């Protein structure tokens, strides 16, 4: 009897955890500089940011590194000016907490 309860509990845990694992793996696959650079180039991110494509890729690489690996500084600068404002840096710190919780 106890074995059946344990099996059912394991089945419920697996059923609940599976979608979270799938979403986490999918998010991590797309949080890499190669994919993000491709999408930024396709959408002409450099055109609407005012930075060169190399600067956009450098900033993105730094932000992704802070997001995934830490520490969450998000303090990348171009020509001595921060890419993200303090409000945006705080938002990215919140995003990192949610990502790590997931």
In the chain, where the domains are located: 1-25, 31-101
Helix (H, G, I), strand (E, B) or coil at 78: strand
Do 92 and 74 form a contact (C-beta atoms < 8 A)? yes
102 residues of the chain, pLDDT tens digit each: 578 888 999 999 999 999 988 988 888 888 888 889 999 999 999 998 889 999 999 999 999 999 988 888 999 999 999 999 999 999 999 999 988 887
pTM comes to 0.73
* Residues with Cβ within 8 Å of residue 64, at least 6 apart in sequence: 31, 32, 33, 36
Q: Give the helix/strand (H/E) hosting 82.
A: strand 81-82
* Residues with Cβ within 8 Å of residue 77, at least 6 apart in sequence: 83
Residue 18 region by backbone torsions, left for phi larger than 0, else alpha for psi between -120 and 50, else beta: alpha
């Amino acid at each position: 009897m106890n074995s059946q309860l344990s099996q059912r509990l394991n089945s419920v845990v697996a059923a609940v955890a599976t979608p979270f694992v799938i979403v986490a793996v999918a998010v991590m696959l797309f949080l890499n500089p190669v994919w993000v650079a491709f999408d930024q180039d396709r959408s002409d991110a450099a055109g609407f940011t005012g930075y060169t494509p190399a600067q956009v890729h450098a900033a993105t690489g730094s932000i992704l590194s802070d997001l995934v690996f830490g520490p969450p500084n998000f303090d990348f600068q171009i020509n001595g000016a921060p890419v993200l404002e303090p409000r945006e840096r705080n938002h990215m710190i919140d995003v990192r907490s949610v990502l790590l919780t997931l």
